[in-house]
Structure 1
């Protein structure tokens, strides 16, 4: 958990919300254990149109998932590289549709916002399979906002 201190430093060192997605930020702050995603998203202006316009489904990895996937130095480096974090978060995002867990069909592939990449829904337990075959379970499902839905997952999805 020591990287949370680093995230707080990044947040207070001039990293501010660069877009006006108030509802999105409000939802993220009510969910526990998603500080890493919140910090990263606030740095990415290119996601503004998605979260304020068309329907979307966003799979939010927990802080524990980021800790398991990256050591502290890798995580700081990741958060400082907007191109890399934009690609990573884009892979966690289905643009153009709201997919609730009740809509999941086992083995159905969805195109992600990261061009050419897909993720696959699983029904029992509800989860997502990434391009490497790893499975992320949904720990908090169907958090809805006007234009989209959030699902908190226990693994950072990886693309090829």
Structure 2
């Protein structure tokens, strides 16, 4: 089984996420044994960044980009079944994301989980339709 990075590369829908991870030197963390849970925004999700936030600007601000990316990673192997039973998850960035489930669908903050439980050898990936922005970064 492939690790989180290899799985994201092979999927072909996370090119922007993989580019950002490489730009911030987070590859080693996401290749480590983990386990980690990654809320992975699709390339399309990066095209819908909030007003005033651009990928080019983020790629120039390594600190802010790293905070945003680590806000998409939670410790442990947290599957959809687990997400339906919790209201928040602590992220590697240090703050928490809100988790909401209703009628079989799951939201993380304002992002919908489009596909859940993509298993890797060092964790699990959940595909989301929006980029999660931690509160402090959004205010900067």
Q: TM-score range by the shorter chain?
A: 0.7 to 0.9
1:70 shift after superposition: 5.2
Runs of 4+, deviation exceeding 4 Å? none
Matched, 1:137 2:112: yes
Gaps of 5+ in 2: 136-140
Partner of residue 147 from structure 1, selected from 122, 127, 140? 122
Change (3 A) 1:77 1:58: same
- Provide closer, same or farther for how the CA distance between residues 31 and 92 of structure 1 changes in structure 2, counting only shifts above 3 A: same
- Specify the alignment match of 1:105 in structure 2: 84
What runs of 5+ residues in structure 1 fail to find an aligned partner?
1-21, 130-134
C-alpha spacing 1:46/1:69, structure 2 compared with 1 (3 Å): closer
> Would you say how many aligned residue pairs link Structure 1 and Structure 2?
132
Q: Secondary structure at the match of 1:28?
A: helix
CA distance in 2, matches of 1:111, 1:36: 24
Q: Kindly state the Cα deviation for residue 69 of structure 1 after the two structures are TM-superposed.
A: 0.8
Give, in angstroms, the shift of residue 57 of structure 1.
0.3
Deviation at 1:26, TM superposition (A): 2.3
Per the TM alignment, residue 47 of structure 1 is displaced from its structure 2 partner at its CA by 4.9
CA drift at 1:159: 1.4
> 1:131-160 CA deviation, whole Å, 9 max, x = no partner?
xxxx21111211111111011100111211
The structure with more radius of gyration: 1
User: 2:98: which partner in 1?
Assistant: 120
C-alpha displacement of 1:106: 5.0
Query: 1:68-87 alignment to 2 at 5 Å?
Result: 68-69=48-49, 74-87=54-67
Select the structure that is richer in strand.
Answer: 2
Q: Which structure has the higher relative contact order (CA within 8 Å, separation 6+)? A: 2
> Contact 1:109–1:118 at 8 Å: present in 2 too?
yes
Taking only aligned residues, the RMSD between alpha carbons, in angstroms, comes to 2.2
Contact 1:119 1:128 in 2 (8 A): yes
* TM-score, normalised with respect to structure 1: 0.72
Contact 1:106/1:121, CA 8 A, preserved across alignment: no
